[in-house]
């Protein structure tokens, strides 16, 4: 291993350590800083254990999120905006499909 590989490995290790320690909202914000962080923090290979730790801390029934990605579940729990218009305070939430929406959307169907 050369020095560059060592430094990259150390950097990734420290980012993962921070990702484990921060609160879920901060972790979601980290994934939105840039593409590199998003890829690192959402890659199944490098981040699955991190998201699992955050899910476990929520102490929710496992059935609520077993069928999808942990990041999507965390995002659904903490991002409270409408899934269709990004507006605040949606009227409905569908935990199974992880979407929230305003009354106007449900009137369209
Ligand atoms: Zn909406």
- C-alpha–C-alpha distance, residues 9 and 60, integer Å: 33
Is residue 33 located within the same domain as residue 16?
yes
Give the total number of structural domains in the chain: 2
Is residue 18 domain-shared with residue 53, that is, in the same domain? yes
Buried/exposed 70-86: b ≥16 CB within 10 Å, e otherwise: bbebbbbbbeeebbeee
Please report where in the chains the tokens 């609520």 appear, as a residue. 64
Task: Give the distance (Å) from ligand 1 centre to CA of residue 25.
Answer: 21
Range of the domain at 31: 3-70
3 C-alpha to center of ligand 1: Å? 50
Q: Are residues 58 and 7 in the same domain?
A: yes
Examine the domain organization and report whether 65 and 83 are in the same domain: no
CA atoms of 71 and 77, how far apart (whole Å)? 10
Give the pLDDT confidence of 8-41 residue by residue, as tens digits. Answer: 999 999 999 999 999 999 999 999 999 999 999 9
pLDDT digits (tens, 9 = 90+) for 38-94: 999 998 888 888 998 998 888 776 655 566 788 888 888 888 899 899 899 999 998
Contact predicate 15/40, CB 8 Å: yes
Please tell me the predicted confidence (pLDDT) of residue 18: 94
Do residues 8 and 54 share a domain? Answer: yes
pTM attached to this predicted model: 0.76
CB 31 within 8 A of CB 71: yes
Same-domain status, 48 and 91 = no
Distance, CA 54 to ligand 1 centroid (Å)?
27
CA angle 12, 38, 70 (to 5 degrees): 100
């Amino acid at each position: 291993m050369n020095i560059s590989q060592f430094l990259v490995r150390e950097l990734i290790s420290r980012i993962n350590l921070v990702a484990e320690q921060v609160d879920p909202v901060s972790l979601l914000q980290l994934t939105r800083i840039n593409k590199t962080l998003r890829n690192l923090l959402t890659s199944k290979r490098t981040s699955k254990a991190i998201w699992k730790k955050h899910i476990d801390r929520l102490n929710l029934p496992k059935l609520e999120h077993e069928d999808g990605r942990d990041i999507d579940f965390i995002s659904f729990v903490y991002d409270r905006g409408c899934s269709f218009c990004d507006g605040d305070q949606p009227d409905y939430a569908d935990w199974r499909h992880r979407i929230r929406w305003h009354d106007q959307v449900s009137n369209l169907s």
